[in-house]
Amino acid sequence: MTEQMRLMAVHAHPDDESSKGAATMAKYVSEGVDVLVATCTGGERGSILNPKLQGDKYVEEHIHEVRKKEMDEAREILGVKQAWLGFVDSGLPEGDPLPPLPEDCFAVQDVDEAAGRLVKLIREFRPQVITTYDENGGYPHPDHIMTHKITMAAFEAAGDPEKYPEAGPVWQPLKVYYNQGFNRQRTEALHEALLARGLESPYGEWLKRWEKMGRERSLTTYIPCGEFFEIRDKALIAHATQIDPDGGWFRVPMDIQREVWPTEEYELAKSLVATSLPEDDLFAGIREN
């Protein structure tokens, strides 16, 4: 009997799972892979980004409960399992100088202590593959950076019987990836495709910012999942407080997306199995063994 493939996606807030790698997860669910989203915080300090809900007093006063319901809906749409790690959203500090982070928030926790919760979940779920963010968090939100830190610590510790003995029998994941769906290659390809068709592109300012940033991330893994883009978008729209269904996220026609860039991209951060790059499967090197 072939062993069950299991994928864990570790994210900072409810909605991150739907904007980063959602089509990939839906694809693997359709193939019988067991997929679990680990959500580090409840999004309690998140802003209401959908202009249609800004000023809604109920939403403002019950943001935690509202975002939990949104996560439940997105989970059902994607067909994944989901677990809360129970940390408190740090918010996104703004100003010059930046204000201190709240004392109770995720980003100020001790990394080793915080990683223990994820180690327990890894040992219970037993994923062969984990996805998360790079050391910059994908973008420099303190919760995203902390998510990277605890995921990498947990990847190393989950298979060590001397670490977190209270967290259950050890389990060693074999690969960990960084989500890199917002990459320059994809953005340039879609930008040029829109202009070539006489359409307006939402990516002009993005590309200007990339020119200033300099270094590019390494894309090692391209998952073909274009047929699941509608599921991705539906899951993202379920997070109604965080996304405007008429906004820039949805301005590229679906047929152009599928024709020009029908994949989601990852950076292989660590692998304990042999694999050949580039890959088109997060389980490359695992299925064969």
In the annotated binding site, the residues are 13, 16, 144
Q: Give whole-number Cα distances, 87 to 16, 36, 70, 269, in Å.
A: 15, 18, 18, 25
Q: What is the distance between the alpha carbons of residues 39 and 16, in angstroms, rounded to a whole number?
A: 9
Binding residues for Zn(2+): 13, 16, 144
Closest CA to 102 of 148, 57, 149, 143: 143
Number of Cβ within a 10 Å radius of residue 94: 7
Query: What amino acid is encoded at 272 in this protein?
Result: L
Beta strand 129-132 with 6-11: parallel, antiparallel or unpaired? parallel
Query: Cα–Cα–Cα angle for 269, 166, 12, nearest 5°?
Result: 40
Strand, coil or helix: 177: strand
Does residue 107 contact residue 143 with C-beta atoms inside 8 Å? yes
Does residue 179 contact residue 165 with C-beta atoms inside 8 Å? no
Tell me the DSSP string of 187-207. Answer: HHHHHHHHHHTT---TTHHHH
Closest CA to 184 of 145, 164, 214, 154: 214
Q: What is the distance between the alpha carbons of residues 230 and 23, in angstroms, rounded to a whole number?
A: 8
